Structure 1
């Protein structure tokens, strides 16, 4: 089968090198051989993955040298106030740690850039954030805020806009907020990535522009990203995977006495290790393929038609608004302690 690299993702913990090194022994090997350090921890309901990439690691996984912190609440829902509160608290804690080495003076400025196209909902997190910051009763005097739009609207490189403002303002720090792409449908709008490596505007939808980073501007750049889109074939592959695992789990439990004692509709645990050969009589050899091989088949099958489709949740406008409020609240709390 032809190997196509089709799963777009901006999240470092979804990169192949990180995904394939989940155990402690594998992480130790990765750190020694590739210059990548991975630390997983949990704070309440928030799962945190802290990845440090050095110059050697940058060559290995194609992600820039620096620190990447991914925070996720897998069970998050739109009306989950506790989940959003915990996510904001952990974002604040890690944001503080990432910038504790900066020495602040009274007149130092912080440039906040909200990237994205406000007319396309899943890409509007940046402009929405700037709107929320402007709507606050008290705006910290350190903040200078700007939503430059996208190149397709202005005809001008977003990175050039930011560079021009930075040259005039001379900020101590640039904070960039943007929408990202994920390759896992269950992480849509449930994850935040924080990194000190800057950002490539438009990279989440395969439209990479000039980067906004310390290397380009000579000013520290911190990026906050929320995954709001996923490739269409990923959704199809995830749905098929869920169906096959559900059937395999039911077949495995069918002969056990416990399955006959259930008084209500019994739901199998599809997350545990399953023998997929149990469904081979139903699906044939396909059932024993790895998840990655099945995903590859979908990409090849839909090449040229569905490959370019990006999917977002139907409640995307509510998700975007919630995250704009969350990030703006976090930034104000952080600025008030400087």
Structure 2
């Protein structure tokens, strides 16, 4: 089934649902911090890579409480968890430089996560160069860019980032982008951190040039939040729930029961896509409160990045700098 998802935890779930067996070459562990669930998916072998359709590496999923976007204290808690998980992956000395890239189109709300995060970061590289005596040695130089999208700039995002990397030579790149999920309940409530880079636009079927250590020569950490779901996937899941309920209430052994059990899920998915596509194309759906949610999630991610990149400062000191 061509279900669109950028989340490693969902790719694992999809494989195990279809194959009815545990995936090989993949290690999964979970932990709980307060009301925040953390799932660590490690793809260890080429077999796991083939089955998951994702490169070998680490994918950390943080599930936020549903009310996070409306509760400042919970937002802070999620930021601290994000900072802790990021710090496990970041290997930087005090003098090394981090480049944060906010991917996406700032003119389209569900795709504006990256640019919004960049606007809330503690940027220090220029100040460390101009007034070094005014800054503690423990403060790391951080720079950022929101390069836009091909349709606005006429340039591949990778080309822009590559030019910057060649000039300033950062030691780490952190990319933030909006993702696609296969489930509505994960939209705007899940943060994924990956060590294998990112292909902008892949979640909505518009894959661009890969941004990764392989293509840039610098370690790349990708942070993403699913902000959209494929309409065909919603329709497919809804029909599955209806069929499961009908099977549960049908009498076993009867012709109607056998007919329901014989429905091929792959064929059903293709049929749904074939029916919807002439009318809505590759429609992606996002919740109506997306404006509020993108603003709050961008604060959560920006705070998490700020804390992880500037461990010598408290969150209060970082907030004062940004203000």
Classify the TM-score, shorter chain: 0.7 to 0.9
TM-score w.r.t. structure 1 length? 0.77
Which one of the candidate residues 95, 98, 101 is aligned to 2:89? 98
Distance 2:78 2:265 in 1: 30
Distance 1:300 1:235 in 2: 14
CA RMSD of aligned residues (A): 3.0
User: How much does 1:44 deviate?
Assistant: 2.1
What corresponds to 2:191 in structure 1?
A: 192
Counterparts in 2 of 1:165 and 1:240: CA distance versus 1, 3 Å: same
What corresponds to 1:179 in structure 2?
A: 178
Equivalent residues of 2:92, 2:171 under 8 A apart:
no
**Structure with higher RCO (Cα < 8 A, 6+ apart):** 2
Distance 2:225 2:170 in 1: 24
Q: Secondary structure at the match of 2:288?
A: coil
Distance 2:118 2:278 in 1: 37
Which one of the candidate residues 3, 6, 22 is aligned to 2:2? 6
Equivalent residues of 2:84, 2:308 under 8 A apart:
no
Counterparts in 2 of 1:195 and 1:170: CA distance versus 1, 3 Å: same
User: How much does 1:157 deviate?
Assistant: 0.7
Distance 2:202 2:30 in 1: 26
Comparing 66-75 with 198-207, which one deviates more in the overlay?
Answer: 66-75
Matches within 5 A, 1:178-327: 178-240=177-239, 248=245, 276-278=247-249, 285=257, 288=261, 292=265, 295=269, 297-327=271-301
What corresponds to 1:268 in structure 2?
A: none
Segments of structure 2 that go 5 or more residues without pairing to the other structure are 129-138, 313-323
User: How much does 1:295 deviate?
Assistant: 4.7
Distance 1:181 1:291 in 2: 25
Counterparts in 2 of 1:94 and 1:180: CA distance versus 1, 3 Å: same
Equivalent residues of 2:64, 2:190 under 8 A apart:
yes
What corresponds to 1:260 in structure 2?
A: none
Q: Secondary structure at the match of 1:147?
A: strand
Which one of the candidate residues 52, 64, 68 is aligned to 2:42? 52
Counterparts in 2 of 1:296 and 1:85: CA distance versus 1, 3 Å: farther
Distance 2:151 2:89 in 1: 33
The reply on whether 1:67 has 2:41 as its aligned counterpart is no
User: How much does 1:54 deviate?
Assistant: 2.7
Report Cα offsets for 1:268-321 as digits up to 9, x if no partner: xxxxxxx8431579xx55755789565555334324333510111111111111
Distance 2:262 2:8 in 1: 25
Segments of structure 1 that go 5 or more residues without pairing to the other structure are 249-274
Matches within 5 A, 1:1-40: 5-15=1-11, 17-21=12-16, 27=22, 30=23, 34-40=24-30
Counterparts in 2 of 1:239 and 1:334: CA distance versus 1, 3 Å: same
Equivalent residues of 1:180, 1:226 under 8 A apart:
yes
What corresponds to 2:131 in structure 1?
A: none
Equivalent residues of 1:182, 1:188 under 8 A apart:
yes
Distance 2:55 2:185 in 1: 26
Distance 2:99 2:277 in 1: 41
What corresponds to 2:316 in structure 1?
A: none
Equivalent residues of 1:45, 1:86 under 8 A apart:
no
Aligned length: 293
Equivalent residues of 1:233, 1:307 under 8 A apart:
no
Equivalent residues of 2:15, 2:51 under 8 A apart:
no
Distance 1:63 1:43 in 2: 27
Report Cα offsets for 1:240-260 as digits up to 9, x if no partner: 455677xx5xxxxxxxxxxxx
Equivalent residues of 2:95, 2:140 under 8 A apart:
no
Equivalent residues of 1:76, 1:190 under 8 A apart:
no
Q: Secondary structure at the match of 1:174?
A: strand
